[in-house]
Amino acid sequence: MSFFYYWDFMSRGPGSSCIVSLFLGRFWFWEDLWVRDGKILDPEKLFFDEQGFADRRVDCGGSIVAPGFIDVQINGGYGVDFSQPTEDVAAGVSLVAKKVLEHGVTSFCPTLVTSPPAVYHQVLPQVQVHDGGPDGAGVLGFHLEGPFISPEKKGAHPERYLRTFRSGGMEDLTEVYGGLDGVAMVTLAPELPHSQSVVRMLCQKGIAVSLGHSVANLSQAEDAVQHGASFITHLFNAMLPFHHRDPGIVGLLTSDRIPAGRTVFYGMIADGIHTNPAALRIAHRAHPAGLVLVTDAIAAMGLHPGRHPLGQQVIEIQGLHAYVSGTKTLSGSIATMDMCVRHLKQASGCSVEEALEAASLHPAQLLGISQKKGNLDYGADADLVLVDDALRVRTTYISGEEVWRRDA
């Protein structure tokens, strides 16, 4: 089967069309894909109402065309640590945004690990939410992972900067973060006193709440979901292990207390290190619609083995493992999103569609942006990735414009 891609300029403005293999709602389609002004068009309206035609055609060489990947947990990469305050934080974010294009990522959430308040106050105002383009992937907002987490499951987060909620009011958040403008998600431990009111306040502001770095039991996790929490930060990692009498946060995957019409999503670092393939298969088979691939990548992604910063810690890279220096505590990963997509498919035995959805549709649904990201529906942003049969990225497009192409 051959695939063709067209980028065109129609009589009423720039546009494009391609005959591609599309997956929409887990069904494959062989049809035209039309794009104009960075959006996917309804071809019937184009043909019958506007009588428009495409005039450019590019051979896709047998690629699958899928929605661009979305990474909702990435701490940095290529020598850049988002939790390190500098005079030009935006420049570091821009560098990572440019480099991740080669891995099919078209938008992402820069993630800050537990840090002193001064770091949040300096870093957060420097980076604005913006769409992607030739200069790099779009920024969807910060993911603040901590400092309101459990000391018992702190992982690589420095314990001296961990905080609790004193009152459950907004003052707890503003004192630490300075403000919530440009924040897309907050990870917290739901067993902390006053956490439920904080969960409710964040959700009312349109900020996704994730449960993680926690010793919460299932009841506490379910209560948090009842108040609006919708995500689990790196499932199985930095939380109580599954127990048959109280499965803890993991039990949310099959809980019967999830409000009707709601989905609890969960992040998986599918790098072959953080989670055994058997555990990955269990999670996927229990709740495939909630699986969200995340890299949890740190500054060492794309660099040689050695010592690199992560927030207030020093991380040592040994092969494909990232440890807190001097320990065997895992600290983020050096995986890329396309690696995670391939490993998910290989380890879980899921379909190509499911692997691609976990990196595109599901994170978009989690953030409430699936009306424009993570799918190829009419009216959605034309953020696309072309991958071969082995799910290796060939070309990345943002708003219908080519932003990266793999050398032949």
Q: Judge if 167 and 214 occupy the same domain.
A: yes
- Average pLDDT, rounded, for the chain: 89
332-337: average pLDDT: 93
**Percent of the chain, pLDDT > 70?**
90
Say which residue, 406 or 21, is predicted with more confidence: 406
Please tell me whether 331 is known to bind a ligand: yes
Question: pLDDT (tens digit, 9 = 90+) per residue, 82-104?
Answer: 999 988 999 999 999 999 999 99
Domain that holds residue 17: 4-66+375-405
Q: What's the domain count of the chain?
A: 2
Provide the pLDDT for residue 53. 67
Provide the pLDDT for residue 289. 97
What pairs with residue 80 in β-bridges?
A: 77
CA–CA distance, 83 with 304 (Å, rounded to integer): 20
Provide the pLDDT for residue 35. 83
Please tell me whether 213 is known to bind a ligand: yes
Q: Judge if 143 and 62 occupy the same domain.
A: no
Please tell me whether 132 is known to bind a ligand: no
Residues 198 and 144: beta-carbon distance below 8 Å: no
Residues 286 and 253: beta-carbon distance below 8 Å: yes
Q: Judge if 23 and 129 occupy the same domain.
A: no
CA–CA distance, 301 with 295 (Å, rounded to integer): 10
Q: Judge if 390 and 353 occupy the same domain.
A: no
Q: Judge if 98 and 184 occupy the same domain.
A: yes
Please tell me whether 31 is known to bind a ligand: no
Q: Judge if 54 and 185 occupy the same domain.
A: no
Question: pLDDT (tens digit, 9 = 90+) per residue, 200-219?
Answer: 999 999 999 999 999 999 99
Residues 250 and 242: beta-carbon distance below 8 Å: yes
Give the domain CATH number at 36.
2.30.40.10
Please tell me whether 143 is known to bind a ligand: no
CA–CA distance, 110 with 127 (Å, rounded to integer): 9
Q: Judge if 341 and 381 occupy the same domain.
A: no
Residues 234 and 240: beta-carbon distance below 8 Å: no
Give the domain CATH number at 325.
3.20.20.140
Q: Point out the residues that are catalytic.
A: 296
Least confident of 3-17, 185-199, 200-214, 323-337: 3-17
Q: Judge if 350 and 302 occupy the same domain.
A: yes
Please tell me whether 330 is known to bind a ligand: yes
Please tell me whether 121 is known to bind a ligand: no
Please tell me whether 140 is known to bind a ligand: no
Q: Judge if 16 and 101 occupy the same domain.
A: no
Q: Judge if 273 and 137 occupy the same domain.
A: yes
Q: Judge if 49 and 145 occupy the same domain.
A: no
CA–CA distance, 20 with 400 (Å, rounded to integer): 14
Q: Judge if 39 and 140 occupy the same domain.
A: no
Question: pLDDT (tens digit, 9 = 90+) per residue, 28-83?
Answer: 445 567 788 899 888 787 777 777 666 566 567 778 889 999 999 999 999 999 99
Is pLDDT of 14 > 70? no
- How many Cα atoms occupy the beta-carbon half-sphere of 383 within 13 Å? 30
Residues 391 and 355: beta-carbon distance below 8 Å: yes
